[in-house]
Amino acid sequence: MPAATVAAKSPAAEQPSRRVWPWILVLVLLAAAGGGGWWWWQGQQAVAEEAAPARPTRLPAQYVAIEPSFVVNLADPGGNRYLQADVQVVSRDQATIDAVHAHLPSVRNRLLLLFGQQESARLAQRSGKERLQDTAREEVRALLRSEGAPDKVEAVIFTSLVTQ
């Protein structure tokens, strides 16, 4: 045999190529496992997104200012105290906002009567003001219900409140 052929078949020449093939095989298997894992993970994410309940979109709050400001005598003995308040009705329902606009004179009347029944001692505390807001909201809702209108009023808020 020629010398070139013997040198090509010697065990020393084949040693480096035999060492490389297992590493290449390991790298290919790792890449395949990584790709399979990624594919599985993406499938799980898609299933989780489909199974998750959709969150309802919350509409922004809308405000209806009841103008002009309320000025009423309070129900204190002696009748020399008064309340001045700027009030807004809050809702996220457009039909309720439209109903409040349509019945604004009646809403104003109900709130005027309610505010005139208050005493200054109760309104001096935060809890008294919060109770008045809750009662005002229920007054507006009751009025809208009696008119057959939507009554999804979230709150009646004071943007200004002065007692003297």
Q: Which domain holds residue 158?
A: 62-163
Q: Is residue 57 part of a domain?
A: no
Q: Is the dihedral of CA 90, 64, 142, 157 positive or negative?
A: positive
Q: Is the dihedral of CA 136, 138, 144, 146 positive or negative?
A: negative
Model pTM above 0.85: no
Is 157 found in the same domain as 88? yes
Residue 157, domain member (yes or no): yes
Indicate if 46 and 70 belong to the same structural domain.
no
94 and 123 part of one domain? yes
Which positions ≥6 away from 81 have C-beta within 8 Å?
Answer: 73, 74, 120, 163, 164
Same domain, 15 and 66: no
Would you say 93 and 150 are in contact if contact means Cβ atoms under 8 Å apart? yes
> Among 127, 55, 124, 29, which Cα is nearest to 83's?
124
Do 76 and 152 share a domain, yes or no? yes
- Encode the chain (164 residues) as per-residue pLDDT tens digits: 555 555 555 555 556 667 788 788 888 888 888 888 888 888 888 887 777 676 677 889 999 999 999 999 999 988 789 999 999 999 999 999 999 999 999 999 999 999 999 999 999 999 999 999 999 999 999 999 999 999 999 999 999 999 98
- Domain count within the chain: 2
